A and B are shown apart, each in its own frame.
Chain A
Amino acid sequence: MKTRYSAYYALPYLFWIVLFVIAPLGLLLVQSFNNIGGHWTLANYQTYFKSGTYLRMTFNSLWFSFLVTMVTLIIAYPAAYIMTKLKHAQFWLMLIILPTWINLLLKAYAFIGLFAQDGSVNQFLTLIGIGPQQIMFTNVAFMIVAAYIELPFMMMPIFNALRELDPSLINAARDLGANSRQTFMKVIFPYSLSGVRAGVQAVFIPTLSLFMLTRLIGGNRVITLGTAIEEHFLVTQNWGMGSTIGIILIIAMFLTMYLTRERKGRGKQHAK
């Protein structure tokens, strides 16, 4: 009954898929096998796996992303949980979303002022007797700013998952004699895991590629996979090596998605 009248209208969309989805990824893959002279080679991958610097950089990037993810999770989970108990939950959700609409560069820029040698944070530290510290261009500064930027993206999915939880399940747990702690561990947390997984994906993967933060806040001391890619593409012009690191980043992305994938039926087993 339904006639296909959109085939022509959808031509630009099909062009888009071929030209901007498939082709760029294919080109990136091909480029990763090219040396500077444009010849087919495995040298980039050999360099990557043989020289300790690239592997150490990758490990560092993964480690920092992991830490940032954990920090945001620890802050976001209780906050999202409390939010579900509030009356105007939708309004509070808007308040979480609003900062994500503000340009990331501006947020990073704010911290340049806050973390400066005579900046507000140091003034505060002096006031409480700790004294001024070097904050800018440290690993901690990078992690604070990254966690700040990623926090809403962790809170949103957890909040959504917790809100979808059927309250009668909690009542049932209480009726069956579970205390608050048991209710949380056996009912609420297992059911909110889908939100935690989505949050971990939404924070871990982008943090791997936050090159502007390492430049502005980390002072090039923290090198992420993203920084390395930017460096090879725009500074040293070694596109082959940059593409190789890009492929590594894509693999890291798929691995993260695989590890945090929805495991069907597990939530139900817990509930039993």
Chain B
Amino acid sequence: MQSERFKAPWLKLYLALVFILMYLPIAYLIIYSFNRGATMTAFTGFSWQHYLDMFNDLRLMQILVNTLIIALLSALLATIIGTFGALLIYQMKRTGIKNIFLSLNNILLVSPDVIIGASFLILFTMVGFQLGFGSVLMAHIAFSIPIVVLMVLPRFHDMDTTLIDAAYDLGANRWQVLSRVILPYAWPGILAGFFMAITYSLDDFAVTFFVTGNGFSTLSVEIYSRARQGVDLSINALSALLFVLSLMLVVVYYFIATGVATRSSKKAGHGQLKVVDPQ
């Protein structure tokens, strides 16, 4: 006991150092977004100039809107498709088939995103689908579906089946059982899946980079092409904006996740915000 108490300050110092290193680059980005100068190396004074530049950059604003549309739309569609996919897997009686479906579901979660990007590029080219908004949207829906399934499925498994039997006994038809009993019960998981899908979409670079074609761009792709040309402090301003947005998403998600956890088993996503590396 004593030895542990003696060591504690050093241990905490180490942990503090790790956290400082983790947040230093992010803080650095945001601090320089307020720089009066145009470099990320010398801070010459406070100014909102780069925020003005960012909001006046019509191309960047258009791309920001595109990115948000893609994120919301793909998350919405992935959530709908994924929820019914989870329902299908939940209802499978034979564990062999169930496991096959679960494995198929998880393939895109574990695949490196270069593989997803390259294989989707081949697919879109083979069927003659034009690269642009549509291909990016479809790719984002595709890689968000498995995480929705994984978020929703535990909720179904937690559900007491007597609830469904009771609903049938009371004269509910299939649609009523689904809309009044099953989906409301799974709601926290569905919502969590929706938020995960949004962050997957906002975070993605590699898959989008492969299937985006020439005319259409998302923030990640734009940041990449600008960063290759050097430092541009309106990107810093943008990163500050995105940081606040991420913070808000995390807070919202945290409340959903704790809501899930208090009402069901620990496994239902609590403390496991991101299951698989999304890069």
Contact = CB atoms under 8 A, between A and B. Distances in A.
A28 B112 contact: no
B272 to A, nearest CB: 7
Interface in A76-113: 78-79, 82-83, 85-86, 90, 93-113
Contacts of A110: 25-26, 28-29, 239
Contacts of A1: 161, 165
B116 to A, nearest CB: 7
A166 to B, nearest CB: 14
Given A7-B88, A10-B84, A106-B239, A25 B119 contact: yes
A135 interface: no
Contact of B224 (A28, A107, A216): A216
Nearest to B222: A105
Interface in A228-245: 229-230, 233-234, 239, 242-243
Q: Which of B12, B19, B80 has the most CB of A within 10 A?
A: B19
B247 to A, nearest CB: 7
A5 B274 contact: no
B26 A104 contact: no
A214 to B, nearest CB: 12
Interface in B192-246: 199, 202-203, 205-206, 209-210, 219-220, 223-224, 227-228, 230-231, 235, 239, 242-243, 246
B28 A21 contact: no
B277 interface: yes
Chain A residues touching B, majority SS: helix
Contacts of A149: 279
B115 A103 contact: no
B25 A148 contact: yes
A94 B273 CA distance: 9
A205 B227 contact: no
Contact of B87 (A9, A17, A114, A225): A9
Contact of A113 (B4, B18, B40): B40
B223 A109 contact: yes
Interface residues of B, number: 91
Contacts of A104: 203, 205, 220, 279
Interface residues of A, number: 93
Given A103-B220, A105-B227, A209-B115, A111 B25 contact: yes
Given A98-B247, A105-B220, A234-B210, A205 B231 contact: no
Interface string A8-42: 01101110110111111101100100000000000
A215 B96 CA distance: 44
A177 to B, nearest CB: 15
Given A5-B178, A101-B249, A210 B227 contact: no
Contact of B112 (A3, A100, A206, A212): A206
A20 B254 CA distance: 30
Contacts of B52: none
Interface string B172-202: 0011011000000000000000000001001
A109 B242 CA distance: 14
Contacts of A209: 112-115, 206, 279
A98 B81 contact: no
A212 B206 CA distance: 8
B140 to A, nearest CB: 11
B274 A100 contact: yes
Given A96-B22, A119-B40, A234-B210, A13 B82 contact: yes
A249 B274 contact: no
A6 B87 contact: yes
Contact of B104 (A12, A21, A97, A257): A21
Interface string B37-71: 00111100000000000000000000000000000
Given A13-B84, A16-B141, A20-B123, 15 more contacts: A2-B161, A7-B88, A12-B81, A17-B105, A85-B11, A105-B223, A116-B231, A120-B41, A123-B41, A156-B272, A203-B277, A226-B206, A233-B210, A243-B118, A250-B111
8 contacts: A20-B142, A114-B28, A119-B40, A151-B18, A180-B4, A208-B112, A233-B118, A246-B119
